Structures are given as C-alpha cells and as structure tokens.
Chains A and B, each alone.
Chain A
Amino acid sequence: MSDAPPVATRGLVKRYGEIVAVDGVDLTVEAGDIFGYLGPNGAGKTTSLRMMLGLIRPSEGSVRLFGRDPLEEGAKALEGVAGFVEAPRFYPYLSGRKNLRLLADYDDGDSRARIEEMLELVELRDRAKDRVGGYSHGMRQRLGIAASLLRRPRLLLLDEPTTGLDPAGMRDMRQLVRRLAGEGITVLLSSHLLGEVEDLCNRVAIIRRGGIVYEGALEQLLATAASGYRLRATEPERARLLALSQPGIDDVALEGPELVFKADEDSLAGLSIALGQARIGITALGSATASLEELFLVLTGGESSDHDREAVVA
C-alpha cells in the first residue's frame, strides 16, 4: 500500500450526456512531486480532481489514491488525502474556528488538537472567532489550506489555490506550498498561472479537451522544446551573414541585437571559430528555450488558458 503512488488514474472518462468532459486521462503523481495540472478553461481539470476526490463517479476508468479506490472505499480512500476543488467552501454563519472544529469532527485522528496550530500557520488566529461570511476570498483560501492540513495529509489536491489572491497572497501561498512539499507532502495543483507552475512544480500534465497531451518532468518538457541558440556579437549583421554561410547552421534570424539559430554542437563550435577568425566578438551565447507558456500554447493548439482569457478581459 505504501508503495502505491499518491495518485494514479487509468483511462479516466467522464461524460455528461454527449459531452465528454474528461477523455481517457492517465496520470501518475509520484510521492514527493509538486505536480502541476494545466489546461485551458473547460479542459477537464476540475472534473478530474472531483473524480480523484470521489465527489463524482467516472463514466469509465479508475482512480487510485495510495492504491485505494474512492468509489469502492469511500472516505477510507481519502485517508492521508486533503484538498479542495474550486474555491474552498465553508459555513458562512459559523466562525472560522467553528468551521475547523466541525471539519475536525468529520475526520479521524487528532485533527481537533491541531486547529490552533493551523490557524496560526495561515495567520487567521486573530479572525478565527469571526463568521466566515465576513472573510475575504484570500482568507477563505487560507482557511481552506488550514482545513486541509488538519488531516495531516500525505497528498494535497489544490484546485487553483492562488486564484483571486492579491500578489502578496499569491506569494505567501506559493511559499506555503513549497514549505509543505519540503515537509514531504505530495502536492497536485491545478493552476491557470503558467509562471506559477514553472516556479513550483517538478512534474506537469497538460490537459486539452479532456485528454492529456503531455505528462512528465517539467525540465524534460522545457528541454525537448529547446529550439536552438541565442548569440550576441559585437557586429550582429556581419555575424548573421557569416552564420548563413556556415554548414549546419539553420533558421538564422536577427531578433534585435540577438542572433537566433539552430545548430548541433559541432556546427556551433565551427561558427564560434569562424566568428573569431572574422574578428567578431561573442559577448553572450545561450540556448534558446521556449517558455512554458509557448509550449502550453503549442500543446493545447493555441487555446487560451484561463490566464489568457483573464488578461483579455482585463
């Protein structure tokens, strides 16, 4: 049981009538991962997370959390698992502390004893006696984290945890996620913020129209998309003309002061020697790697992410 991955989905499908919200999702989140789950708006991220938490029944396929099936074992399968789907929701007419007490009583174990510690951790102790109905969005997000951590989870599922937070709140939330991961908690987070995923996650899955188009290490994804080199020279135009004449140097273009091209290592060495013989100085040379955002757009066929959509709205 302990060797089983925190999350393993196989052929996960969810249909609503003729609409296929999730279409054959295979995901494996390994222990210790901070796993980013990315996709355009409506791609099926939240539906996937709901199935993982046993809130909705898959039409086909299976979910295993540490080897347990939430459909067969119900709440027992959620042992060591916590998180929230969409925004965390609480009883608005109860105080923050009472909400946590309620949820602690819905848990096994020592959740109740950890309430004050968790309130302190998310910096809500001063407002704990106030009704949640009067909390800001950010405070509710933090209370959601506190409610999740009460359970001493080994796996945290977080759906857009920084959505709606101000920049400081986003920074704090990311620091918290990093800290929790550092304590050995596996984190699966869906996010519409590509920068956030790039910053936090070691592995990612990209979902498009219900299906996974990439799953693997973030580094590997970025590396496979390495598109060539960027070079700064003392005489860019002469450098460009020289590059065009060199064997093995392709797709040469001048982007501002930078020369961009594709080449294998031998051709690159040949170019640098040629530039030196032509007395053209090299001031900078680096690999040109596509950003996660560019990769995301390629992998999702250019569909806008929530982020893009928000940016347009803004």
Chain B
Amino acid sequence: MTAVAKIYRWEIAKLLAQKRTYLGIVSAALVPVIFVVVLVLQTGGPNEVPLGRYIRDTGLAVPFVVLFFMSIWGLPLITALVAGDIVASESHNGTLKTILTRSRQRGEVFAGKVLASITYTLAIVFAMGLVGLVAGGIAWGFHPLTSLSGTKVSTGHGLGLLAASLAIYAFPLVGIAAFGLMLSTITRNSAASVVGTLMWALLMQLLGVLPGTESFRPYLLGTQFDAWHGFLRTPADWVPVVRALWVCALYIAVPLFVAYTVFLRRDVAGD
C-alpha cells in the first residue's frame, strides 16, 4: 500500500469516527425522505422545477428533483462541514504537528486529505440519490421517466441517467469542497472555513440569478449543478456536461493548488 493510500485510509477512519460525518450523510439522506413524505401528505407539487411535474408518476423522478433543491445550500453546507474542517481541526487540536513529525511528506498528507474530502462528497451525493430513489419507489413505484424533452425513458435507462446525473452533479460539489479545503488550510479555523465555504456557494448561486450576469453565467460554479439536464434531453445535450467538466476542473484545481502551496510552506505552531 502506498503512503498516500495509507493516509487516505486513516483520513476515512477519522471521518468515520466523528459525529459530524454521520450528521452530514444522514442529513443528505433524510432530505429526500422528508420530501417524499410531504408530497405524499399533500396534493401540490414542485411543478416549476425540472421533472417536478412528473414526480408522482415515478419514484425515479424524486432524486432528480431533490438534486435541484439541495444544490442551493443543503449539499454545499454538508460538504463544507467536512472540507472546511479537515485541515483546520487538525491545526486547532495540534494533531497536525503530530503527523507531520512522522515519515510522510506534507504533500502526501495533503493528498490523503483531498481524497478523503472527495470521497465524502461523493458519498453524500450518492446517499441522497439512493435514498431518494428508494423513498420515491416506495411511494410511487418505478415507472418509465418522462425526460426534459417530453419523451419516455425506460426504468433501466432512467437508472443509468440517474447515475450519470449524480456523477456530473458531484463535480461542482467537489469544487465547493476544494474551496472549503483551501479556507481550512489558510484560516486554520473550522467555523470560519465552513461559513466561508457556504457563503462562496451562495454567492455563486446569487450571481447566477442576478440580471446582467448572463455573459459569464455559464461559467459560474452554481450553474454547473444544472449540467445533468443535458443527460435528460433527447438526444443528450453534451454541451452543459462538457462545460461542467472543464469549468469544475478549474474551480477544483485553483483552490487546491493554493491550499497545497500553503500547506507545504506553512508554519505549524500552536494555532
């Protein structure tokens, strides 16, 4: 096992030993359940959001609709809870100096933390998707899905589209995690990093709805949360998907580079 793999394994073990990790995953999983329960108990529906009008036709629509609502602040907050804390808490608790006086290079330690943050981010997205799928299936069964182009998609194909959508949806969320990790490294303060990351995500969303931002709106991080719409069109629209890939890559790479540089050079004193 390589050094980074060992560090990654321990980063995951540390996450699994902390309540905040479960708080995040359970929150991500609870939202679709609450969403389904509310819809079962009332007659209206989220008709204005993509696939919202078909939500009672098939449980397959539930995770897609929840993706929309959770992108505003729910998932960014849950992501920030871990990414904003993963370096700062070690600085605060003094454990960073403990691990940095062993045999691993700082770059390896940093890589382990990045991988753990990404793993957590993927876990919450797929937990939310899976629980939404199961809750929706229990409530309304698994029937063919109506795509955004109005065509019917078989259940099997719909599941494939859901997996692809969750995957592309995770990219901007990893961008938020990267920003959180950067703040965590620079500020060494968990609370400031979590709040700062959430503010960053909300700012991206806000810029996306303000008038006059049309020219750069496609390149905002918040916009990339809608990239999955491309999969739900017939034929598939790859433009938003491809754009999400490279735009998110930039939103991920820049903060990670900054964080990496700071992490390598920073003084580890009594924070």
| A89–B105 touching, CB < 8 Å | no
Q: Does B17 contact A (CB under 8 A)?
A: yes
Query: Which residues of A are found within 8 Å of B267, using beta-carbon distances?
Result: 50, 55-57
The one of B13, B103, B105, B269 that contacts A55, using a Cβ cutoff of 8 Å: B269
Q: Does A35 contact B (CB under 8 A)?
A: no
Q: Which bracket fits the contact residues of A? A: 35 or more
The one of A55, A92, A98, A107 that contacts B102, using a Cβ cutoff of 8 Å: A107
| A105–B10 touching, CB < 8 Å | yes
Q: Does A83 contact B (CB under 8 A)?
A: yes
Query: Which residues of A are found within 8 Å of B7, using beta-carbon distances?
Result: 105-106
Instruction: Enumerate B215-271 residues with CB–CB distance to A below 8 Å.
Output: 265, 267-270
User: Known contacts A55-B268, A94-B17; is A83 also within 8 Å of B97 by CB?
Assistant: no
Q: Does B104 contact A (CB under 8 A)?
A: yes
| A90–B97 touching, CB < 8 Å | no
Query: Which residues of B are found within 8 Å of A92, using beta-carbon distances?
Result: 93
| A53–B98 touching, CB < 8 Å | no
User: Known contacts A55-B267, A56-B268, A106-B7; is A75 also within 8 Å of B93 by CB?
Assistant: no
| A74–B17 touching, CB < 8 Å | no
Instruction: Enumerate A54-100 residues with CB–CB distance to B below 8 Å.
Output: 54-57, 74-76, 78-79, 81-94, 98
**Distance of B18 from chain A, by nearest CB (Å):** 6
Complex Cα distance A94/B104, Å? 20
Complex Cα distance A105/B6, Å? 6
Q: Does B38 contact A (CB under 8 A)?
A: no
Query: Which residues of A are found within 8 Å of B270, using beta-carbon distances?
Result: 46, 86
Q: Does B101 contact A (CB under 8 A)?
A: yes
**Distance of B33 from chain A, by nearest CB (Å):** 28
Q: Does B160 contact A (CB under 8 A)?
A: no
| B97–A75 touching, CB < 8 Å | no
The one of B97, B104, B269 that contacts A106, using a Cβ cutoff of 8 Å: B104
Query: Which residues of A are found within 8 Å of B268, using beta-carbon distances?
Result: 50, 55-56
Q: Does A103 contact B (CB under 8 A)?
A: yes
Q: Does B151 contact A (CB under 8 A)?
A: no
| B106–A106 touching, CB < 8 Å | no
Instruction: Give B11's nearest chain A residue, CB to CB.
Output: A102
Most buried by A among B93, B103, B265: B103
Instruction: Enumerate A102-129 residues with CB–CB distance to B below 8 Å.
Output: 102-103, 105-109
Main secondary structure of the interface of A (DSSP, over half): loop
Q: Does A218 contact B (CB under 8 A)?
A: no
Instruction: Give B267's nearest chain A residue, CB to CB.
Output: A56
**Distance of A60 from chain B, by nearest CB (Å):** 15
| A84–B98 touching, CB < 8 Å | yes
User: Known contacts A91-B17, A106-B7, A106-B104; is A85 also within 8 Å of B265 by CB?
Assistant: no
Instruction: Give A53's nearest chain B residue, CB to CB.
Output: B101
| B93–A89 touching, CB < 8 Å | yes
Instruction: Enumerate B192-208 residues with CB–CB distance to A below 8 Å.
Output: none
Complex Cα distance A108/B102, Å? 9
User: Known contacts A91-B14, A92-B93, A106-B7; is A82 also within 8 Å of B101 by CB?
Assistant: yes
**Distance of B26 from chain A, by nearest CB (Å):** 18
Q: Does B95 contact A (CB under 8 A)?
A: yes
Complex Cα distance A78/B124, Å? 38
Q: Does B99 contact A (CB under 8 A)?
A: yes
Query: Which residues of A are found within 8 Å of B105, using beta-carbon distances?
Result: 74-76
**Distance of B268 from chain A, by nearest CB (Å):** 4
User: Known contacts A50-B268, A91-B14, A93-B17; is A85 also within 8 Å of B97 by CB?
Assistant: yes
Q: Does B156 contact A (CB under 8 A)?
A: no
| A56–B98 touching, CB < 8 Å | no
Seen from chain A, the residues whose Cβ lies within 8 Å of a Cβ on chain B are 46-47, 50, 53-57, 74-76, 78-79, 81-94, 98, 102-103, 105-109, 147, 151
Task: Beyond the given A54-B101, A89-B97, A103-B98, please list 19 additional residue pairs across the A-B interface where CB-CB is below 8 A.
Answer: A53-B97, A55-B269, A57-B265, A57-B267, A74-B105, A76-B105, A78-B103, A83-B101, A86-B94, A87-B94, A89-B98, A90-B98, A91-B93, A92-B93, A94-B13, A94-B14, A105-B10, A106-B99, A151-B103
21 pairs from A and B in contact (CB 8 Å cutoff)? A50-B267, A54-B100, A55-B267, A56-B269, A57-B267, A75-B102, A75-B103, A76-B103, A78-B101, A78-B102, A78-B103, A84-B97, A89-B95, A91-B14, A91-B17, A93-B17, A102-B13, A102-B99, A106-B10, A109-B103, A151-B103
